A = this chain, B = another copy of it.
Amino acid sequence: MAVKSLEELQQLISKKIDGFCEKNGDGRIFQPVNYILQLGGKRIRPALSLMSANLFTDELDNAVYPAVAFEIFHNFTLMHDDIMDHAPLRRGKPTVHEKWDVNTAILSGDAMMIQAYQLLIKTDSTKLIPLMQLFNTTALEVCIGQQMDMDFEQKDLVSVSEYEEMIRLKTSVLLAASMKAGALIGGASQESQDNIYKFGIHLGLAFQLLDDYLDTFGEEAQTGKRRGGDILADKKTLLMIRAFEKAGPQEMDVLNRFIGNKEAQAEEKLSAILDVYQKLEVANDLKEKVLHHHDTALQSLDLISVDADRKQALHSIADMLLGRKG
């Protein structure tokens, strides 16, 4: 058996991405592509793509380029989303539209998406059509998720199910599709592909919800971000949505006083909203959701009929994720 560890797969991907950047050279349009790719990141999508292939085969060569394609596509979405969100920083460094300008970020992003397709087709040609269909459907869903996220900013009320649908589209489908692509190339049955996809969806949802939790309740030392950023930005996270749903007149008063209020003092706002969150126990609602998605993910993994030791790495990742909650 030759099941590779997460670290081995991350290293393999990083080497491929270094090679990709080197081949890009320093042409004007590729500089921002190389820049965003070299900001780092955990390469979690391509690593899990390879890990999914590795469930079914020891031969990962055909799976590497498509895995990298998903990572390039992911970074393309970051480059364009950062423009749309007016984000000044990405992983502590200036975003592309800040370091260069908006036009550069648009155009280099476009080039990057095309490059993802160039890598995607470097695979076993007998799998190309289902792979392309999966990639295209997913890519379009990611755009629709970003659209929903932007639309939420203009909406007064967002429901829990709308919120979950948005994060499913904006973040989970790409993780799930990376994994399904690996399984497809690794020779998995349709049923196994569907199960690994479902694993990815629920893992992604749990991960994103936990991110919301950590933004509000996490230790700054752990997250590397200022605590309460979502609250200060009036983001409609699950915590906020549940707070509005559960609020009595008194809490509603506090929420209405601070949410959308650009004049409010940051510290005062943060402490008032955290107080409401605590009274309404919305953190518990979120934790329940995370546990639910974690369990659903593992149930899907259980349904895949390969040796338990081949699945161990994916099991550990799901548990490691839960461990983040600390």
Residues on A close to B: CB < 8 A? 27-29, 80, 83-84, 102-103, 106-107, 109-111, 113-115, 117-118, 121, 125, 128-129, 132-133, 136, 139-140, 143-144, 146-147, 150-151
A143 CB contact (under 8 Å) in B111, B121, B132, B144: B111
- Chain B positions within 8 Å of A28 at CB level: 147, 151
A110 CB contact (under 8 Å) in B29, B80, B128: B80
Structural contact, B84 and A143, CB atoms closer than 8 A: no
The CA-CA distance from A27 to B148 in the complex, in Å, is: 11
Structural contact, B113 and A113, CB atoms closer than 8 A: yes
Closest to A132 in B: B121
- Chain B positions within 8 Å of A103 at CB level: 83-84, 150
Q: Give how many copies assemble into the complex.
A: 2
- Chain B positions within 8 Å of A128 at CB level: 125, 128-129
Asked, given contacts A28-B147, A143-B29, whether A132 binds B107 with beta carbons under 8 Å apart, the answer is no
Beyond contacts A110-B110, A128-B129: 18 other A-B pairs, Cβ-Cβ < 8 A, are A27-B144, A28-B151, A29-B144, A80-B106, A83-B103, A83-B106, A84-B103, A102-B102, A107-B143, A110-B143, A114-B139, A114-B140, A118-B136, A121-B129, A121-B132, A121-B136, A125-B128, A132-B132
Q: How far is the CB of A151 from chain B (nearest CB, A)?
A: 7
Asked, given contacts A121-B133, A129-B121, A129-B125, whether A107 binds B140 with beta carbons under 8 Å apart, the answer is no
Asked, given contacts A103-B84, A106-B80, A107-B84, whether A143 binds B114 with beta carbons under 8 Å apart, the answer is yes
Name the residue among A29, A110, A140, A147 with the largest chain B CB count within 10 angstroms. Answer: A110
- Chain B positions within 8 Å of A106 at CB level: 80, 83-84, 106
- Chain B positions within 8 Å of A144 at CB level: 27, 29, 111
Closest to A150 in B: B103
10 A–B contacts, CB within 8 A, in A order: A28-B147, A29-B144, A84-B106, A84-B107, A107-B143, A109-B110, A110-B110, A111-B143, A114-B143, A115-B140
Structural contact, A110 and B113, CB atoms closer than 8 A: yes
The CA-CA distance from A129 to B144 in the complex, in Å, is: 28
A147 CB contact (under 8 Å) in B29, B109, B129, B146: B29
The CA-CA distance from A102 to B101 in the complex, in Å, is: 14
The CA-CA distance from A151 to B133 in the complex, in Å, is: 36
The CA-CA distance from A133 to B103 in the complex, in Å, is: 26
Structural contact, B143 and A117, CB atoms closer than 8 A: no
Closest to A125 in B: B129
The CA-CA distance from A115 to B136 in the complex, in Å, is: 8
